[in-house]
Amino acid sequence: MVVRPVQKGEGAAWAALRGWLWPDADKAELVKEAEAFLDGLKVPTIAAVFLAEEKTLPLGFLELAVRPFSDGCESRPVPHVEGWYVEPGARG
- pLDDT tens-digit series, residues 15-27: 999 999 999 999 9
Dihedral angle, C-alpha 65, 84, 58, 35, nearest 10 ° = -40
Distance CA 51, CA 44 (A): 19
Q: Which residues of the chain have pLDDT under 70?
A: none
Residue 92 has what pLDDT?
86
Residue 47 has what pLDDT?
97
Distance CA 50, CA 72 (A): 26
Q: What is the pTM of this model?
A: 0.90
